[in-house]
Amino acid sequence: MTSAPRVPRERSADPDLDAEELGDEDVEQSLDKDEWSLHFETARTVAFSDAVLAIVITLLVIDLRPPHLAPGQSLASALLADYQRYVALVSSFAIIGLVWIHHHRLFRLIERADHRLVNLNLLLLLVVMVVPYPTALLAAFPQDRAAAVLYTSVVALIALLFNVLWHHVRHRPWLLRPGLDPIVLKTIDLHYLVGFGAYVLIVAISFVSIPASIVGNILLAIYFALPLHVVKRHLLERRASRFLDKGDGRQRSGARS
């Protein structure tokens, strides 16, 4: 027995009344078609993020002050004595620059943004906004391990949020642009996972050596700023070498038999 075809119901003049009379099926169909209320423009999200990052990266120089000269001390020696402040500034600049690079790369792959993605992006920006504070602490207390641990922990939290944001997008393919290369997506998976693990390792190093943790942050920022096709080529070369190794192993086993 077939059910009678469903006749579309006319909407009343009162939207509240319509909402009360809608069934579950009506709600689902309405949500499926109502893309304007479910999704955000990625262009506005990117523009807002760029503005926040530009402000944060500018705030880094606010803590730079002329050095206080001791009696008989030259300006050159005072500037050299303050080198750790400049190293912390360069490290934070590299970190925020890296955030901008990966944010730009990520949203080039995203066609639309849902509410959760926008909220995760705001959370990421919130943590990035905190970066000038541990930078100032590290510049003021360069020998204090607590300042280094806080600094590296904030950076590791940024790496974690990038993983969470990317994980959200990867499990919702309708947010991504169609026709993306699966190898590119897997490369980003590996890139973010390795990045988070590396920054957690830097946090552990900061408990032992403050200078090594700061230098490690700078080196990691340089590495992860490399173009994605370089990492992709490395991944493809590794896969090709594994394939060739397997082929050689099969030939050897066949020759033995």
Q: From CA 67, how far away is CA 76, in angstroms rounded?
A: 10
- Asked if 127 and 154 touch (Cβ cutoff 8 Å), the reply is yes
Local structure of residue 62 (DSSP, 8 states): G
- Asked if 123 and 161 touch (Cβ cutoff 8 Å), the reply is yes
Tokens of 43: 């262009």
pLDDT in tens, 223-249: 888 776 555 555 556 665 665 556 555
- What pLDDT is attached to residue 167? 94
Which uninterrupted H or E stretch holds 114? strand 113-114
- What pLDDT is attached to residue 68? 79
> Quick check: helix, strand or coil at residue 100?
helix
- Asked if 225 and 95 touch (Cβ cutoff 8 Å), the reply is no
Strand partners, 170: none
- Label residues 97-136 b or e (16+ Cβ within 10 Å = b): ebbbbbbeebbebbebbbeebbebbeebbeebeebbebbb
Residue showing tokens 């920022």? 221
- What pLDDT is attached to residue 11? 46
Q: The pTM is what? A: 0.73
Which uninterrupted H or E stretch holds 173? none
Q: Taking Cα atoms as reference points, which of 171, 181, 190 lies closest to residue 234?
A: 190
Q: Which segments in the chain show pLDDT lower than 50?
A: 7-20, 22, 24-25, 27-37
Rg (CA), the chain: 26
- What pLDDT is attached to residue 170? 92
Q: From CA 114, how far away is CA 225, in angstroms rounded?
A: 27
Q: Taking Cα atoms as reference points, which of 231, 244, 135, 220 lies closest to residue 184?
A: 231
Spell out the alpha helix ranges (H) of 39-181: 42-59, 75-81, 83-109, 115-130, 132-140, 145-170
For residue 66, what are the contacts with CB-CB under 8 A and spacing of at least 6?
none
Q: Where are the domains of the chain?
A: 37-62+83-226, 227-257
pLDDT in tens, 124-156: 999 999 999 999 899 889 889 999 999 999 999
- What pLDDT is attached to residue 13? 46
